[in-house]
Structure 1
Amino acid sequence: MNKKLKVGIVGGGGIARGVHIPNYLKHSDKVEVIAVTDIVKETAEDCAEMFSIPHAFTDYKEMFRKCDLDAVSVCTPNKFHAEAAITALEEGCHVLCEKPPAINVAEATAMANAAKENNKILTYGFHFRFSPEVRTLKRFTDAGDLGEIYAASIQAVRRRGIPGWGVFTNKELQGGGPLIDIGVHMLDAALYLMDYPEPESVFGATYQKIGNRKGVGLMGDWDWQNFSIEDMARGMIRFKNGATIMLETAFAANVEKDDVMNVSLMGDEGGADVFPLKIYKEIHESLIDISPAYLPKKGYHELELESFINECLTGEESLSSPEQGIIIQKIINGFYESARIGEAVKIEDSEKASKL
């Protein structure tokens, strides 16, 4: 394919300006960002001016009518992911949609169906998969060096890291708080390293203890008076193969460190912590810790966008699939449903809840 990939951006806010557009522009020999759309006219126009993008719109349907696009980045609040992605797929575009896939399982499933029906790429912004730690450990897990991975623990915890910008504390627009925003990153990394097993049940609890009152903000001042999400979520996921994951995620918690993002895996032949990467084995009657002497330093987001560009141009398989998007959405919805009713839920039963 000799022509350049023509890209449109849906949502001209922070993630588009800080991640998607700059990394597309690093590949100007392969990519042209020709349009940006945002429901706020000034945001669309400012974004277009900032990056010398030729066209700015307030309606992405108008963008599709007036611009010949090959691919789209969906960078909107979570509530609008599904409609924007499905429209783009039906217009013949490949789609990189920011995480999480959607608000509920029905939307994630509809997105996957649209990708299949239109024979287009749909992939999600799980950029931690592109970290050198995850990519290195994946080679070990694929080779069987950890054996059967039957247990994992996840942490995505901030001491006072409630975002003071955007709509991160608005449940209607985001669908939830730290679980659906930062916890989902570590959950995806764990599932990816475990070959995405099918979930069976979830037991979860959510808390709103700190975010709904005024306090110290390490990521800006948040709107505590309109704080409608959880500030912490904890629980366990059980899979059909018998494996379990313990999950803990928080925007605000009374802990020592400002920010902890980690996945720990336990298999019958070895275990590992991912961030930083260390592998634990029993070899020749000795307990051995293995750490890499060197890991590449290229940015996770840069590698993510580079991969998406190559997928669009060559047709190679995406690292993140629509089917995996459905699985992770089932777990998220199941977690919130369990927290709502106060008991464990079967994943199949939790899918009946169309809203979080």
Structure 2
Amino acid sequence: MNNVLRVGIIGAGGIARVAHIPNYLKHVDKVKIVAVADVVRENAEQLASTFDIDNVFTSYDEMLNTVELDAVSVCTPNKFHAEATIAALKAGCHVICEKPPAMTVEEAEKMAATAQQAGKILTYGLHYRHTPEVEALKRFIDADELGGIYAARVHAIRRRGIPGWGVFTNKELQGGGPLIDIGVHMLDTALYLMGYPEPDTVFGVAYQKLGNKKGVGLSGEWDWENFSVEDMVRGMITFKNGASIILETAFAANIEQREEMSVSLMGDKGGADVFPLKIYQEKHHTLIDITPAYLPKVDAHGIQMESFVNCCLTGNQPISNAKQGVALQKIINSLYESAEKGKAIKLSRTV
């Protein structure tokens, strides 16, 4: 591979514009963005003009067959994650695909298998892993300060935070609502800190109580008449090692706070809240709380993209991998399946 990573962008939407491209451009000595592909040519041309990208395509297959690329960012709606990722991997590219991995477990498994067969990196846009709170707590966990983590709570809840842009309320294109969009971040954070234990049983309930009605929007006005996703999911996940997670995620709920993104962990030596970071222990016959005096302010997206670039150039593996993507997708889809069927879902062994 060249010393400079040749990158293509699939999907010219907001996440490409805000998170991927600007952070690639921080590393002009290591990265050159060669091309952008989007089914809406005007969007691709606008992005190319803004960031001085030479090549524009309306088909990612044409892009992959026309220009020489080393890596690809997949920034499409969820429905197209799998097919775009698999095409890029087969074309010999490393891939960073935005979250969630895919729409179905089968797609996530095929993505992981293709990456393994191609010998290429496949990682996902789960940038909360790179926040200073998570990085600091991971060091404590690795030093056994929490002991065996057996319970967690996950919250990703907004008061009236239904996105008024994009396709976030379109089930056909996204596969779901808050669970697959914001809940996935906090769920992955908990799983990552717990060591990604193997899931055993999932029980979930889903609600559509507020999103399909006209109301006040704190994230823009949404298309309530065509709102086809859930506005809340609540659930419980148990794991084969005996651990469990309680999850609650919502685009819209009648709560006090505008938004809460939080993870709480409980181990047999200590516990922690992650956002903000606070650790709870017993030492020397005294219950103590540990709060960092200082944590750096960082751009987690920026750290994620820098890590991806460096992994592509060095062959090191990113902290988010395709196998974890399969496990994460399996839990998400099982929560939706449980909510639809009204019963707990017993999971088979993950790949």
Percent of aligned positions that are identical? 67
Matches within 5 A, 1:87-102: 87-102=87-102
Q: Which residue of structure 2 lines up, in the alignment, with residue 86 of structure 1?
A: 86
Deviations 1:75-114, CA, capped at 9 Å, x for gaps? 0000000000000000000000000000010000000000
Q: How far apart in 2 are the matches of 1:198 and 1:105? A: 15
Q: Which residue of structure 2 lines up, in the alignment, with residue 73 of structure 1?
A: 73
3-state SS of paired residue (2:210): coil
The aligned amino acid for 2:52 is S
Matches within 5 A, 1:37-48: 37-48=37-48
**For structure 2, which runs of at least 5 residues remain unmatched after alignment?**
none
Q: Which residue of structure 2 lines up, in the alignment, with residue 51 of structure 1?
A: 51
Q: Which residue of structure 2 lines up, in the alignment, with residue 347 of structure 1?
A: 347
Q: How far apart in 2 are the matches of 1:60 and 1:341? A: 37
3-state SS of paired residue (2:348): helix
Q: Which residue of structure 2 lines up, in the alignment, with residue 282 of structure 1?
A: 282
Q: How far apart in 1 are the matches of 2:65 and 2:281? A: 57
Q: How far apart in 2 are the matches of 1:3 and 1:293? A: 39
2:160 touches 2:218 (CA, 8 Å); kept in 1?
yes
Displacement of 1:255: 0.3
Q: Which residue of structure 2 lines up, in the alignment, with residue 116 of structure 1?
A: 116
Q: Which residue of structure 1 lines up, in the alignment, with residue 302 of structure 2?
A: 302
Q: How far apart in 2 are the matches of 1:347 and 1:252? A: 29
Q: How far apart in 2 are the matches of 1:218 and 1:52? A: 34
Residue 192 in 1 paired to residue 217 in 2?
Answer: no
Residue 29 in 1 paired to residue 29 in 2?
Answer: yes
Q: Which residue of structure 1 lines up, in the alignment, with residue 271 of structure 2?
A: 271
3-state SS of paired residue (1:26): helix
- Tell me the matched-pair count: 350
3-state SS of paired residue (2:184): helix
2:210 touches 2:231 (CA, 8 Å); kept in 1?
yes
Matches within 5 A, 1:201-280: 201-280=201-280
Displacement of 1:18: 0.7
The aligned amino acid for 2:141 is T
Residue 61 in 1 paired to residue 51 in 2?
Answer: no
Matches within 5 A, 1:163-202: 163-202=163-202
Q: Which residue of structure 2 lines up, in the alignment, with residue 103 of structure 1?
A: 103
**For structure 1, which runs of at least 5 residues remain unmatched after alignment?**
352-356
Deviations 1:63-85, CA, capped at 9 Å, x for gaps? 01110000000000000000000
Displacement of 1:128: 0.1
Matches within 5 A, 1:1-40: 3-40=3-40
Q: How far apart in 1 are the matches of 2:149 and 2:291? A: 19
2:3 touches 2:313 (CA, 8 Å); kept in 1?
no
Displacement of 1:166: 0.3
Matches within 5 A, 1:145-160: 145-160=145-160
Structure 1 runs of 4+ aligned residues shifted over 6 Å read none
- TM, length-normalised to structure 2: 0.99
Displacement of 1:294: 1.1
